[in-house]
Structures are given as structure tokens and as C-alpha cells.
Amino acid sequence: MSATDNNPSNSWFGSDRRRLIIQEYGIFLAFLLLAVVLSFSNEYFLTAGNISNVLLQTSINGVLAIGMTFVILTRGIDLSVGSVVALTGIVSASFATTSATAGIVGAPYPPYIALAVGLLVGVACGAVVGLIVSRFAVPAFVATLGMLSAARGLTLIYGGGKPVPALIPDFRWIGTGSVLSIPMPVILLAIVFIVAWWVLNRTRFGRYIYAVGGNPHAAITSGINVSKLRFLAYVISGGLSGLAGMILAARTGSALPQAGIAYELDAIAAVVIGGTSLSGGVGRITGTLIGALIIGVMNNGLDLMGIQSYYQQVLKGALIVGAVMLDQKRNLGS
């Protein structure tokens, strides 16, 4: 028997093996542990109706968090997603309402037109931010903070500070419909997840995203167009924010100007809890999805237990700080 075989750190239960297991499966195990604890804490937690409710609540944040993952992988941040949700919801809803005062001339239009307009608005917001960050080297925090304010102001200007009610059923279907008893928002989240996973794991574009976040100087030396990749990351985030905004408006039946407030915090929390490093270049889209599910399950479970939302915010903040601390420890190699 060699000395290597006797080394505890290389054994099945050695420290290196345990560290690898925690890094690879820790977030999934944490999700399972949370679900088990909540299932024993409340008898209604594991009912079919409540599970469907959790998935519905998670769908919007999951879509936002997937877009946020692309940005954070490139060492960026997007604080504007909540305001873009509100703006895209208001604009798309104005094309799909039967209200004579809230709709634009000729409304209601076919739902595909309203959906296309909403996606274009989200992409446009992401493109503006991406251009400012990639071409003018403005810090992402500053650029997206500016878009947060601008998009919220445009929402109030466009809608006159009033909601857009009376959305047509065909448009509402993306938020209230179902296929084979599976809610449409959950199906949309699954589609977005599968496409994002394939892009990040099976395409050159995905490899370049990781390279830009891992070492932008080395990426430039390798011939990668770092500015273009960063620009596209924000475009993706903006487009998915647009999709989330339309799902939210369709679910509620009206587009509210105050929609999406603090949604960026939940999206960032899902990404960070899911193991994506704020330093860029490290993370998986699967972890982001589980992070979003953890937040959704935690909020739902605490609601069932009658715990006020104020305490939920405290717990969510502690989770974010704890995840960042673990990320920093991993980066330092300690």
C-alpha cells in the first residue's frame, strides 16, 4: 500500500473529498434539508397545491436570476432588473388591454405583438446598459443603478402612474395558463433554464463568458472580444427581465407601475446562494435554479408557519452574506 493511499486527505472520507462533495452538491443538499425541515414544520408544505404555488412564485425570480447569472459570470451586476420588469409589463400590457384609457391606439393587438414589444423593450434596456459598461467602461454598479432609476421613471411616465388593467385572455395565458396541468410560468422557466444551460455548457459563447469573468486580460490575449461578450450578457439579462415582466403582468391581470420593486435583490440572492462567484468566471446555472428554489421554498415555508415578512428579509440577508463569505473563503483558498 502506497503512502498516497494512507493519506487521510485522499481517502473517501478525507478532507479533500469532503470539500469536493460540499462544493459540488452542497447547495442541493441544503435545499433538500430545508424542504425536509419545512415538511415536518407544516403539514401543508408538501401538498400538491402548495408545491405548485412554490413553483409559480419561483418562476419569475428564476427567470431573472438566470439572466443575472450571465452578467455576474462576466464580473458584472445588474441592479436594474426590477425596474425593467415594471417597464416591460406596462408597455406590453398597453398593447394587450381592452381598456379605452390605458391602451394605445388600436389596442388590443394580438398577443404575439404585445409579447414582441415587451421583449424588445427589455432587450433595449439591456443594450443601453451593456453599451455603457462595455464601451465607456462605466462600472456596472453605476450604470445599472442609473437604469434602475430611469426605467422606473419611464414606467411612471408611460402609464401616467396608473396600472394597465383588463388584459386580454390570450395574453394572460402566459401567466395563468397550463399545459398538461403544468403552469405556463413554470414551463417558461424550464425552457429558459434548458436554453441557458446549453448555451453556457455546450457552446463557444458560454466558454467565452466564463473566460471573460475568470481572467479578462487573458481572454483579450486569446482574441476574445471582451466588450462584445459583456454587452451581450446585459442584453440577455434585459431580455429575460422583459419576459419576467410580462409573466408578472399576465399573472396579476394588470400591469402595475410599482411592480418589480426589490426584485433585483432576490435575483442576486438566488445567483449568489447558488454558488456563482461575484468575482466572475465561476458558477453554474443549475446552482442558480436551486438558489431560486431555496428562496421560494423559504418564503413559502415561513409564510405557512405564520412568520412575518420582516423576519424573512433578515434571514434572506443572512443567507446572502453567508454565501458571499463562503465564496471569499473559497477564492482565498483557505
Q: Which residues contact 328 (CB under 8 A, 6 or more apart)?
A: none
Q: H helices within 137-262, ranges in order?
A: 140-159, 169-176, 184-202, 204-214, 216-221, 226-252
C-alpha torsion sign, points 204, 22, 290, 314: negative
Residue by residue, DSSP assigns 7-63 as -GGGSTTSHHHHHHHHHHHHHHHHHHHHHHHHHHH-TTTTSHHHHHHHHHHHHHHHH
Instruction: Indicate the SS3 state at residue 178.
Output: strand
What is the C-alpha R_g of the chain? 21
pLDDT string in tens for the chain (334-residue length): 455 455 555 555 556 666 666 666 778 888 898 899 888 888 888 898 999 999 999 999 999 999 999 999 999 999 999 999 999 999 999 999 999 999 999 999 999 999 999 999 999 999 999 999 999 999 999 999 999 999 999 999 999 999 999 999 999 999 999 999 999 999 999 999 999 999 999 999 999 999 999 999 999 999 999 999 999 999 999 999 999 999 999 999 999 999 999 999 999 999 999 989 999 999 999 999 999 999 999 889 888 888 887 887 888 788 888 877 877 776 665 4
Distance separating alpha carbons of residues 76 and 162, to the nearest angstrom: 33
Instruction: Indicate the SS3 state at residue 180.
Output: coil
Q: What is the largest CA-CA distance in the chain?
A: 83
What phi and psi values does residue 164 have, to the nearest 5 degrees? -110, 105
102 touches 125 (CB < 8 A):
no
- pTM exceeds 0.85 for this model: yes
229 touches 209 (CB < 8 A):
yes
The length of the chain is: 334
- Cα–Cα distances (Å) from 88 to 278, 279, 313, in that order, read 27, 30, 26
**To the nearest 10°, the Cα dihedral for 242, 246, 247, 252?**
140
165 touches 89 (CB < 8 A):
no
42 touches 304 (CB < 8 A):
yes
Q: Tally DSSP H helices, then E strands, for the chain.
A: 14, 2
| Count of Cβ atoms closer than 10 Å to residue 221 Cβ | 9
**pLDDT for 140-183, tens place per residue?**
999 999 999 999 999 999 999 999 999 999 999 999 999 999 99
Cell (9 digits) for 332: 482565498
Which residues are registered as beta bridge partners of 63? none
